[in-house]
């Protein structure tokens, strides 16, 4: 006969079910990991295209899958710079390279180092430094050292610093971002070598895992220890890559235990103790406990006991004032963190939490992701109907799928803008665009790429093909008044970048070439494919945070039916035209390339507002605008008026337009063509009220007032 489960086992099983319901399941953990690893591949592919000797890594809870919607974990990105050869001993020195030696001596705490400059021609220290070097100093021993302020200038428009990270705040619907710049060292840290030989009771981490971890090297990040003697000279040695590997090796019960620890930390501990305990400390406690227990303990029916044991270990660490880093145990994560007045209070809180953990009472008080409510329903303490009335679609799997798809699409938007900026700055836009496309295609065909890398190439190539096609077509129209077959082939390759923007780039070129029949055909097909219940607008031109408060439930539902390929069917990117594409842009939209007055230029940020010299418009308004213009040329008045009505309705009702002021400017010009000058003026004023700076509505208003006052029609 099977043994009857005890109360702890029943609570553990129900708790495991609850965590699965809110997205801490094997399937969703893997989905989160694939999403953020794909983002990493997209970013690194773009950095390579831009000629940057930098690698991007997504670390932390988002990439590990150890988070939930309401835990709202930061997106932690580390940028590793490879332009310097960071070494741990002189045998790794390279001639003609800028070599930096990691130095650990009696002044550096465990887990920290100094970075000393070496000569390029011989493996000896540099002894002199230029006076104008702001981030280099000669210490009392005559060593030329790099200060950890070296990367401070790289954080653009950040909201603050958290240790070595430049923090970009989110809001109620978005994740904050922590961006860390670091140096990479390809060799495993000397201090961490004993860890490679350490054996765990349960055989974790395995020898294969440790062998892989050794190949990941380490990073040195720009932050000193709070207890060190040279805080501005110290760099922390980071094994984040290895730690991500360790997290990827955990089973679902271990992941759930970590998520619960973070919920408890956020709910009960940090509000009372000024955030002295971090989620990284919880992760470290978890690692140590897994290392010292048999794998058989980590089962779903033992989750509550595992959680209680981890809290007990955390309490012991607090009492002893020592939380040893898992890989470099000499590094005490609690050193200098807990004051004498906070320690007894924190110890008492942890003891209370363990006491309440025994019978599950603790779980009922966790409001994050409605965990307590869900748990009480699972245990039969509350009726099921209460749960459905309270949360309905809240935190459903489809919402998580949709959020993850939105994250990928948003990143694509960001890096498309970055690549277009580089194309424009290069001087020869067509050749630079062609170089990007050719490079990606050549690498895709010729290199041994991982599945994620191939996916990144497949996502990026269509956007670049559309831009190159439009630039070539603009040149064709300027010279021959027709679009070449080469440009049309490239347009075809870019049609499925997303649902609409690639198609609208083609129709815009066809419209400007006078091919109204093909323009109408593609526009009608695009409109048929554009299901407004499911398709979401994607725009990152304004660097505004991605919000999910207005995202359609249909988008979330569709997102759960597939993966990244759904970007082609349920996302709608804004349509971007560089000045070199001028001949493929209707004259009404060309005005947007001249949106900034001399006064406006002082209110632009050169690091993020460079796109304001382009013509950029949201897809759906542009679709209806092109319909309005095309039907007008074809003298189809009924269809033309329907398109104008749809254009106005879109601007009135679509909540997530990134360029609403541009759409209002287009409507104003349509009104002028309808001889409705007063209505046109109203739309221009609305546009200016939407965005008062860097808005070409000012020109339209002045031009239209001239017409109204003097009865003159300005040239277009």
The rounded radius of gyration (Å) of the Cα atoms in the chain is 29
What is the pLDDT at residue 390? 64
- Bridge partners, 237 (sequence order): 220
- Bridge partners, 324 (sequence order): 332
pLDDT mean by block of 10 residues, the chain; 716 residues: 80 96 95 95 95 94 94 90 94 93 92 94 87 82 90 55 47 59 95 94 94 96 82 93 97 98 96 90 98 95 97 96 96 91 93 91 93 93 77 70 93 94 90 95 90 94 97 96 97 97 98 97 97 94 57 90 92 97 97 93 87 96 98 97 98 94 98 96 97 95 90 53
**Distance in angstroms (rounded) separating the CA atoms of residues 296 and 305:** 13
Q: What is the pTM for the complete model shown? A: 0.91
| Phi, psi at 136, each rounded to 5° | -130, 140
What is the pLDDT at residue 611? 93
Question: What CATH number does the domain located at 586-716 have?
Answer: 1.25.40
Beta-carbon contacts of 336 under 8 Å, excluding residues fewer than 6 positions away, are 226, 227
CATH architecture of 1-24+250-393: Orthogonal Bundle (1.10)
**Distance in angstroms (rounded) separating the CA atoms of residues 383 and 44:** 50
Strand ranges for 12-94 from DSSP E = 54-59, 75-81, 85-87
Q: Class for domain 72-248, per CATH?
A: alpha beta
The interaxial angle of helices 485-493 and 501-513, nearest 10 deg, is 160
What is the pLDDT at residue 172? 36
Domain boundary assignment for the chain: 1-24+250-393, 72-248, 396-579, 586-716
Nearest CA to 693 among 631, 603, 619? 603
| C-alpha 272, offset from chain centre | 31
What is the pLDDT at residue 174? 44
Beta-carbon contacts of 575 under 8 Å, excluding residues fewer than 6 positions away, are 500, 501, 504, 505, 508, 616, 617, 618, 619, 622
For 101, the 3-state DSSP assignment is: strand
What is the pLDDT at residue 712? 60
What is the pLDDT at residue 153? 65
**Distance in angstroms (rounded) separating the CA atoms of residues 412 and 341:** 49
Residue 566 has which token pair?
């759904």
**Distance in angstroms (rounded) separating the CA atoms of residues 159 and 177:** 10
Largest CA distance in the chain: 98
Buried/exposed code over 535-555 (b: 16+ C-beta within 10 A; e: otherwise): bbbbbbbeeebbebeebbebb
Where helices occur in 447-515 by DSSP H, the ranges are 451-479, 485-493, 501-513
DSSP states of 405-458? HHHHHHHHHHHHHHHHHHHHHTS-HHHHHHHHHHHHHHHHHHS---HHHHHHHH
Report whether 291 contacts 324 (CB < 8 A).
Answer: no
What is the pLDDT at residue 389? 63
What is the pLDDT at residue 133? 76
Nearest CA to 33 among 44, 22, 25? 25
């Amino acid at each position: 006969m099977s043994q009857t489960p005890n109360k702890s086992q029943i609570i553990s099983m129900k708790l495991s079910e609850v965590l699965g319901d809110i997205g801490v399941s094997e399937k969703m953990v893997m989905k989160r990991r694939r999403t953020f690893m794909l983002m990493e591949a997209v970013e690194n592919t773009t950095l390579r295209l831009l000629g940057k000797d930098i690698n991007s890594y997504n670390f932390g809870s988002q990439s590990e899958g150890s988070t939930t919607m309401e835990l709202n974990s930061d997106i932690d990105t580390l940028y590793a710079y490879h332009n310097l050869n960071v070494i741990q001993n002189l045998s790794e020195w390279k001639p003609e390279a800028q070599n930096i030696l990691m130095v650990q001596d009696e002044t550096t705490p465990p887990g920290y180092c100094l970075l000393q400059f070496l000569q390029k021609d011989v493996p000896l220290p540099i002894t002199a430094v230029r006076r104008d070097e702001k981030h280099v100093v000669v210490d009392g021993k005559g060593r030329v050292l790099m200060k950890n302020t070296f990367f401070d200038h790289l954080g653009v428009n950040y909201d603050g610093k958290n240790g070595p990270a430049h923090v970009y705040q989110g809001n109620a619907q978005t994740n904050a971002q922590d961006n860390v710049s670091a140096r990479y060292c390809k060799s495993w840290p000397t201090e961490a070598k004993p860890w490679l030989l350490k054996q765990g009771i349960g055989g974790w981490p395995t020898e294969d895992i440790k062998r892989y971890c050794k190949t990941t090297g380490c990073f040195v990040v720009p932050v000193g220890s709070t207890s060190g003697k040279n805080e501005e000279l110290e760099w922390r040695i980071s094994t984040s890559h290895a730690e991500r590997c360790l997290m990827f090796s955990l089973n679902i019960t271990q992941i759930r235990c970590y998520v619960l620890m973070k919920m408890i930390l956020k709910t009960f501990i940090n509000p009372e103790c000024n955030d002295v305990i971090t989620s990284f400390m919880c992760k470290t406690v978890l690692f140590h406990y897994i290392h010292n227990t048999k794998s058989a303990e980590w089962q779903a029916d033992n989750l509550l006991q595992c959680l209680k044991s981890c809290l007990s270990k955390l309490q012991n660490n607090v009492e002893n004032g020592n939380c040893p880093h898992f890989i470099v145990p000499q590094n005490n994560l609690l050193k200098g963190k807990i004051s004498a007045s906070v320690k007894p209070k924190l110890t008492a809180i942890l003891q209370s939490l363990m006491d309440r953990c025994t019978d599950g009472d603790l779980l009922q008080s966790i409001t994050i992701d409605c965990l307590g409510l869900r748990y009480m329903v699972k245990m039969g303490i509350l009726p099921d109907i209460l749960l459905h009335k309270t949360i309905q679609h809240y935190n459903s799997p489809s919402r998580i799928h949709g959020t993850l798809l939105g994250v990928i699409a948003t990143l694509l938007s960001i890096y498309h803008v970055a690549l277009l900026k580089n194309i424009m700055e290069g001087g020869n836009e067509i050749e630079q665009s062609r170089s990007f496309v050719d490079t990606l295609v050549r690498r895709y065909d010729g290199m041994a790429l991982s599945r994620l890398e191939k996916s990144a190439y497949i996502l990026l190539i269509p956007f670049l093909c559309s831009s190159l096609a439009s630039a070539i077509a603009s040149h064709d129209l300027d010279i021959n008044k027709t679009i070449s077959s080469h440009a049309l082939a490239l347009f075809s390759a870019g049609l499925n970048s997303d649902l609409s923007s690639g198609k609208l780039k083609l129709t815009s070129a066809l419209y400007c070439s006078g091919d109204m029949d093909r323009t109408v055909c593609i526009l009608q097909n695009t409109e048929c494919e554009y299901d407004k219940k499911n398709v979401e607008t994607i725009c990152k031109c304004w660097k505004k945070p991605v919000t999910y408060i207005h995202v359609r439930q249909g988008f979330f539902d569709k997102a759960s039916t597939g993966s990244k390929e759904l970007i082609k069917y349920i996302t709608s990117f804004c349509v971007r035209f560089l000045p070199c594409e001028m001949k493929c842009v209707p004259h009404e939209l060309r005005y947007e390339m001249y949106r900034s007055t001399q006064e406006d230029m002082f209110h632009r940020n050169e690091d993020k507002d460079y796109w304001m010299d382009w013509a950029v418009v949201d897809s759906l308004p542009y679709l209806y605008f092109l319909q309005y213009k095309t039907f007008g040329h074809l003298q189809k008045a009924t269809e033309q008026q329907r398109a104008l009505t749809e254009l106005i309705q879109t601007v009135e009702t679509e909540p997530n337009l990134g360029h609403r002021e541009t759409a209002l400017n287009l409507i104003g010009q349509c009104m002028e063509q309808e001889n409705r000058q007063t209505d046109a003026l109203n739309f221009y004023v609305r546009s200016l009220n939407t965005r008062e700076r860097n808005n070409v509505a000012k020109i339209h208003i002045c031009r239209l007032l001239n017409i109204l006052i003097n009865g003159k029609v300005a040239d277009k």
